[in-house]
Amino acid sequence: MFISILSASAFNRRYKQVNAEEADTTEVTPYKKPTGDATKFLGIWLTSGYTLQPNENTYIEVGQTKTLSGNAGRSMLTYWATILYVNKKYQWYKSTDGKNWTKVSSKDSGDKKTMPVTPTEVGTTYYQLDTYFQTAGLIGATASHLYSNVATVHAVPEPVNAQKVTVTVDDDYLYNSTNDLVNIETVAHAHPDPVNFTGAVTWSISDTNLATIDEETGEITANTGRRAGVVTVYATLHNPDGSIIKGETDITIGGGLENQTVKAGETATFALQGNIGELDEDGDDGYTIKWYKEDPITHTRTQVQKDKPQALSYTIPDTTLDDDGTLIVAIISMSYGGRPYSYTTNDAYLYVTPEGGPDIEMTNIMKNETFDDGTNTDNMLFGVNNGDTVTYTDTVTNNSTSGTLTDATYTLPLHNNTKIASVQLDGKELSSSSYSFKKNDTTGATDLTIPGLNFKINESHKIQVNTTVDSIEKKETFSTVPYIAGKADGKTDYQKVGRGNTINYELDTITITNTENIDYGVINAVSNKTILYRQDKLNNPYNIIDIDDTRRVKSSIGLYVRQKSELISGNNILSGYLEYHENGVAQDLRATDVEVSRTDDEQALSSQSWNKEEGVLLHMDPQINSSGIYTTKLEWTIADSL
């Protein structure tokens, strides 16, 4: 057991605070030594600390209310060492003289992450937040106490309006993945002018499909569904006189790499995005980054710059038209605390535009005519099922003022077994003899090709392919890139690729994908324990049962469990049985199917993990048991009702 003891008496750091009215200084001794901000490598917490510090200075008109907020988290190593401490708790402390501190009572929201403050008289009050973690139960053990910086609240007699505001964020790039190695969270900050603004600040964001924001604290969380784009974060300052001041800034949401467009002969650089964190330049951090380039048509992948295993970017010098459409991907690997982590970025495309000759631009989009839950984009579809109608539209334009493209063939790779309803060129439906549709043995896809296309100067053609999804047998993701190839000015070979298309196929079902065997360890022949708990490796955050709910229409549904037979070892029956425990109530699993979880309408059924004292536990009767390995079977059922 590892025990860390911090001595508070050894710390007496002095904080200088300036009173807005008197301009005097006050020496402040914190309640406890501030823990500081958390440090990360990408999404891995290297040290415990704060991600949201309470504002250093807050100005409030006497009798009015504003809030203080703070939030912190544990390092990955501390998390695993204190994994049973599952409940995050908060406690605020305050001082009026900067030396003597008292606990803020729960009736004044002193045990909340966000605490309202309403001063009754002019003066200065200091606050500090303790964020800690507690085991389950009414009186649980505590660990990992993390202390914020000191926050100073100035209670002033008169209101002060803001004239303008600047908005910043801790990270201007967030990842759109559930992977532990990447960062999906950041915090926005409002900087009013003047700084002693006494009004309130609220937060909003332009696209909640890409990211969400806490309207009080400014904490931002990116989507984890791989949706990418740019969101605008808005701070709204509500002045005491009723006027509104707004400020904004942008955040990019993505998979780690961004597409690059250059002219032939120029250099293209792909750099790992986001706030990387504290990397050791001497290469002692235990991480590697492998870079790969991939042909967009054959999907042949080659590792590049093998001699630079920790390079944060990859550069292609002197690009040519042959590089157009090249895919770049990076794989980040790291070992931390004895655990391996790995993340693969999104595919980023290199687009090379020509100097002279034809200048072909492809604007390709997809649309699911049957279903769209609001998350689809022009080049990424979600929740596509058998029977859906998917339309592919591509406008191919020659932007050149001097070059032409002749004898060109347009190729659209499609998922195998896709059914073609119709193909149109410039609004006219083509006969089946005007295009071909056959399997490409190199790529594994089925290519739809339209030959005989010509592009004069500034000429364009619009291609539309109407399809029906068919014979999808499992949840899968299919990525492809349309392209066109022909003769530049009737002489040299020329090829141009479009934007990458990604379709996420699902089966409109709900399935149990995995169930874990439950182990209660070794017990004595006569046990003096009434309830036996699962092994730690079977407790939160590890799932006992994994569920994949890809239903298109999500009606209320329940998950049930039942013990099918006695616990037996050979001819011996154990004097015990399984119970389901939740909120202090135990239900015998032999008697009936017990409801473990139920969803509301439009809610997905989640996988299940439990804290130590909840879920399926073993109830023992005080009787002698023969030695042996006792087993039974649990039956899991998903149903509207039982």
592 falls within a domain: yes
Non-local CB neighbours of 523 within 8 Å, separated by 6+ positions: 529, 532, 620, 625
Whether the pLDDT of residue 5 is over 80: the answer is no
Binned at pLDDT 50, 70 and 90, residue 14 comes out as very low
Residue 434, helix vs strand vs coil: helix
CATH number at residue 597: 2.60.40
For position 632, what pLDDT does the model report?
Answer: 93
Q: How confident is the model at residue 7 (pLDDT cuts 50, 70, 90)?
A: very low
Give the range of the structural domain holding residue 453, as residue numbers without chain letter. 360-505
Q: What is the mean pLDDT of residues 612-632?
A: 89
Q: Is residue 3 part of a domain?
A: no
Looking at the fold, whether 494 and 535 belong to one and the same domain comes out as: no
Cα 534 to Cα 101, 329, 616, distances in angstroms: 42, 41, 8
Q: How confident is the model at residue 527 (pLDDT cuts 50, 70, 90)?
A: low
Range among 32-36, 282-286, 331-335 with highest mean pLDDT value: 32-36
Alpha helices in 5-123 (DSSP H): 76-81
Q: In angstroms, rounded to a whole number, what is the distance separating the alpha carbons of residues 480 and 286?
A: 34
- Considering the domain boundaries, does residue 1 fall inside one? no
Name the domain boundary from 254, 270, 300: 254
Using DSSP's 3-state secondary structure scheme, residue 519 falls into coil
Q: Is the pLDDT of residue 285 over 70?
A: no
Q: So what's the pLDDT on residue 491?
A: 86
pLDDT band at 121 (very low <50, low <70, confident <90, very high): very high
Tens digit of each residue's pLDDT (9 = 90 or more) over 197-212:
999 999 999 999 999 9
102 domain residue, yes or no = yes
Whether residues 515 and 616 fall in one domain: yes
Tens digits of residue pLDDT in 432-463: 999 999 999 888 899 999 999 999 999 999 99
Same domain? For 379 and 497 the reply is: yes
- What pLDDT score does 134 carry? 87
* pLDDT-derived band at 549, boundaries 50, 70, 90: very high
- Residue count of the chain, please give it: 642
What pLDDT does residue 140 have?
A: 65
Which of these three, 505, 530, 563, is where a domain ends?
Answer: 505
Clarify whether residues 150 and 17 are in a common domain: yes
Asked if residue 117 belongs to a domain, the reply is yes
Mean pLDDT of 105-133: 95
Radius of gyration of the chain (CA): 31
**Weakest-pLDDT range from 123-132, 138-147, 465-474, 529-538:** 138-147
Q: Are residues 182 and 288 in the same domain?
A: no
Above pLDDT 70, what percent of the chain?
93
What is the reported pLDDT for 486? 95
- The mean pLDDT of 300-323, rounded to a whole number, is 93
Q: Are 486 and 535 within one domain?
A: no
* CA atoms of 143 and 82, how far apart (whole Å): 7
When comparing pLDDT for 332 and 42, which is higher? 332
Who has greater pLDDT, 25 or 219?
A: 219
Q: Please give the share of the chain, as a percent, with pLDDT higher than 90.
A: 72
Q: Is the domain of 527 the same as that of 564?
A: yes
Threshold 0.85, pTM exceeds? no
**Is 249 in the same domain as 265?**
no
pLDDT band at 12 (very low <50, low <70, confident <90, very high): very low
Q: Is 612 left (phi over 0), alpha (psi -120 to 50) or beta?
A: alpha
Asked whether residue 298 carries a pLDDT value surpassing 90, the answer given is: no
CB–CB of 577/563 below 8 Å? yes
Looking at the predicted structure, is the pLDDT value of residue 18 above 60?
A: no
Mean of per-residue pLDDT scores for the chain: 89
For 332-346, what is the mean pLDDT?
88
530, 606: one domain: yes
Render pLDDT for 479-516 as a digit per residue (tens, 0 to 9): 999 999 999 988 889 999 999 999 999 999 999 999 99
Per the structure, how many domains does the chain have?
A: 5
Residue 2 within any structural domain of the chain: no
pLDDT at 465 over 60: yes
Helix (H) or strand (E) holding 382: strand 380-384
Is there a single domain that holds both residue 391 and residue 445? yes
For 449-461, b/e burial (b = at least 16 CB within 10 A) is ebeebebeeebeb
- Confidence check: pLDDT of 4 > 50: no
Same domain as 191, residue 86: no
Measured CA to CA, the distance from residue 195 to residue 237 in angstroms comes to: 12
How many whole angstroms separate alpha carbon 349 and alpha carbon 324? Answer: 8
Domain harbouring 83, CATH code: 2.60.40.10
